[in-house]
């Protein structure tokens, strides 16, 4: 069915801010003046913050997914730059609407490495609690990237974990043992950095979703969250005969996050990845994706970003306000720089 507002594309009034990047000799460069302004905006600074982030290797469809997340956010929440909502019930918009937002497809160069924040802030007032909330969106890149060194990678993942409350770990194909070990390593790093702020026994970090792209084993575990949940149980299960090392990785991950979920996405179709027969530039529209992928994409994004699922960023059980959050973030950026 063609949406009625076909000629009215989404308001997407924002741009990507590369707030942290690596120099050629792997030093961290911080450029967060605009981020500071954004978080200290009078309509934002006293709101509780929900930092939503995605992390993973480059060219695995992270920015592509985030751009659909932005479409969802602009349709469901007023923002500083776009106070009016366009048809939330049909948030994916027209079939042929080109995808805009974080630049995607251009990941072959290193300039997308680091932390990139969308410059607009989404606002929500929670009906149940009366809390005023600000949502920000971050694209984090570097993990498993062959060009970035292992220390750079774990630093960036640790930072992503420290500064978000909903984090998506974007993986391709399957969850591998070395990725779990990597996750443990980075999370240990983050725990260590936050040690002075967190109570000893509380879980220091909030939601982590393992998002597996191009899932092919749907006969074993179906697409989506339910299949993801049974798959998660298989790869995080601690078995008596397992080596101690494998047990402890799993134990550690479980103890570090308040909520662990997993979702399995089908392959998006040839048009999205480009093939020899079809060389014409693809603009990211959903009309040319496989139907099953579109369906699962919509369910996934709604699950991640609907009002009931928003998770406020907590540090040592305190919910951070946006302005405070900037101070927290700046502190970590500088800590990791040194």
Residues at the interface with ligand GDP (CB under 6 A): 58-64, 104-105, 107, 213-214, 265, 267-268, 272-273
Report, in Å, the least distance between residue 53 CB and Mg ion: 12
- Nearer to ligand GDP among residue 104 and residue 182 (C-beta): 104
- Nearer to ligand GDP among residue 107 and residue 160 (C-beta): 107
Contacts of 236 (CB under 8 A, 6+ apart): 250, 253, 254, 260
CA–CA distance, 233 with 3 (Å, rounded to integer)? 39
How many C-beta neighbours within 10 Å does residue 235 have?
A: 15
Give the distance from CA 98 to its chain's centroid: 21
64 binds, among Mg ion, ligand GDP, none (CB under 5 to 8 A by kind): ligand GDP
Decide: is 263 part of the binding site for Mg ion (CB under 5 A): no
Decide: is 63 part of the binding site for Mg ion (CB under 5 A): yes
Report, in Å, the least distance between residue 87 CB and ligand GDP: 24
273 binds, among Mg ion, ligand GDP, none (CB under 5 to 8 A by kind): ligand GDP
CA–CA distance, 267 with 214 (Å, rounded to integer)? 4
Contacts of 243 (CB under 8 A, 6+ apart): none
Report, in Å, the least distance between residue 109 CB and ligand GDP: 10
105 binds, among Mg ion, ligand GDP, none (CB under 5 to 8 A by kind): ligand GDP
Contact status, residue 198 vs residue 315, Cβ threshold 8 Å? yes
CA–CA distance, 170 with 213 (Å, rounded to integer)? 7
Residue list 101-120, contact with Mg ion (CB under 5 A): 107, 112
- Nearer to ligand GDP among residue 45 and residue 267 (C-beta): 267
Report, in Å, the least distance between residue 290 CB and ligand GDP: 10
CA–CA distance, 169 with 153 (Å, rounded to integer)? 13
272 binds, among Mg ion, ligand GDP, none (CB under 5 to 8 A by kind): ligand GDP
CA–CA distance, 54 with 138 (Å, rounded to integer)? 7
- Nearer to ligand GDP among residue 93 and residue 101 (C-beta): 101
Report, in Å, the least distance between residue 13 CB and ligand GDP: 21
47 binds, among ligand GDP, Mg ion, none (CB under 5 to 8 A by kind): none
Q: What is the 3-state secondary structure (H, E, C) of 118-157?
A: ECCCEEEECCCCCCEEEEEEEEEECCCCCCCCHHHHHHHH
214 binds, among Mg ion, ligand GDP, none (CB under 5 to 8 A by kind): ligand GDP
- Nearer to Mg ion among residue 14 and residue 107 (C-beta): 107
Residue nearest to ligand GDP (CB): 61
CA–CA distance, 162 with 189 (Å, rounded to integer)? 10
Contact status, residue 135 vs residue 121, Cβ threshold 8 Å? yes
The residue ranges that bind Mg ion (CB under 5 A) are 62-63, 107, 112
């Amino acid at each position: 069915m063609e949406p009625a507002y076909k000629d009215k594309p989404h308001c997407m009034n924002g741009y990507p801010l590369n707030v942290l990047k690596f120099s050629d000799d792997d030093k961290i460069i911080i450029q967060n003046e605009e981020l500071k302004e954004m978080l200290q905006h009078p309509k934002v600074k006293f709101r509780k913050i929900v930092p939503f982030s995605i992390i993973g290797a480059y060219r695995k469809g992270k920015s592509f997914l985030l751009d659909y997340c932005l479409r969802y956010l602009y349709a469901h929440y007023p923002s500083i730059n776009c106070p009016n909502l366009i048809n939330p019930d049909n948030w994916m918009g027209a079939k042929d609407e080109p995808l805009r937002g974080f630049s995607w497809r251009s990941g072959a160069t290193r300039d997308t490495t680091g932390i990139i924040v969308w410059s607009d802030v989404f606002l929500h007032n929670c009906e149940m609690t009366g809390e005023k909330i600000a949502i920000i969106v971050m694209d984090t890149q570097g993990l498993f990237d062959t060009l970035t060194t292992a220390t750079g990678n774990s630093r960036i993942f640790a930072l992503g974990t420290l500064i978000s409350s909903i984090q998506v770990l974007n993986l391709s194909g399957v969850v591998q043992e070395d990725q779990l070990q990597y996750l443990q390593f980075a999370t240990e790093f983050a725990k260590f950095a936050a040690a002075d702020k967190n109570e000893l026994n509380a879980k220091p970090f909030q939601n982590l979703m393992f998002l597996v792209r191009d899932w092919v084993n749907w006969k074993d575990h179906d697409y989506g969250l339910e299949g993801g949940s049974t798959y998660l149980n298989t790869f995080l299960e601690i078995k008596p005969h397992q080596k101690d090392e494998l047990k402890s990785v799993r134990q550690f991950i479980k103890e570090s996050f308040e909520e662990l979920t997993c979702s399995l996405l089908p392959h998006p179709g040839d048009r999205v990845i480009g093939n020899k027969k079809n060389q014409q530039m693809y603009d990211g529209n959903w009309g040319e994706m496989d139907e099953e992928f579109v369906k699962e994409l919509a369910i996934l994004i709604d699950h991640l970003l609907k009002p009931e699922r928003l998770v406020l960023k907590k540090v040592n059980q305190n919910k951070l306000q946006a302005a405070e959050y900037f101070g927290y973030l700046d502190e970590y950026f500088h800590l990791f720089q040194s």
